[in-house]
Amino acid sequence: MIIKQLSIFLEDKTGSLARVTGILAQHGINMSAFCVADATDYGILRMVVARPELASDILRNHNYSVHINDVVCLKLKDVSGSLNKALKVLSDNDICIDYMYAYASTDGVAISVMHSNDNNRMIEVLQNNKMELMPASEML
């Protein structure tokens, strides 16, 4: 249930994000989920795309620093407390979430993209607690 995520370092300048999304659009690469985190002089764009290796190659050819990371996507009911239940299970099993981002769809489902220093153990704990993971084929 591992999904590949791109992490792209962006200059902290107006239009940086638009340039990346424009490059991806020109090549027909859709972003399923993303988040942007800022630091002092740069930002990090993390995103799940349909063809991560191709997207990475294209962005590198445009001089972007790109890393491919493994993440886990948890599928939850879009109701109050469902994320808390999952996070409590992870916390109770000493699994630290390095970062996460989430979105809710119109069909009552919420998706949480998570990264841990031990994604395989996170998957095992979530599955043992009857949590539903989203495979890449469903997300993209």
* Paired strand residues for 71: 3
* Chain CA centroid to CA 20, Å: 16
More confident residue, 115 or 40: 115
- Go through the domains of the chain in sequence order and give each one's CATH number: 2-69 (3.30.2130.10), 71-135 (3.30.2130.10)
5, 50 contact by CB (below 8 A): no
What are the residues facing 97 on neighbouring strands?
A: 116
Q: 50, 102, 108, 100: which is closest to 77 by C-alpha?
A: 108
Are 140 and 32 in contact, with CB atoms under 8 Å apart? yes
Which tens digit of pLDDT belongs to each residue from 73-101? 999 999 999 999 999 999 999 999 999 99
For the segment 18-39, what is each residue's pLDDT rounded down to a tens digit?
Answer: 999 999 999 999 999 999 988 7
**Percent of the chain scoring above 90 in pLDDT:** 81
Stretch 106-117: mean pLDDT? 92
Query: Does the pLDDT at position 140 exceed 70?
Result: no
Give the other-Cβ count within 10 Å of 83's Cβ.
17
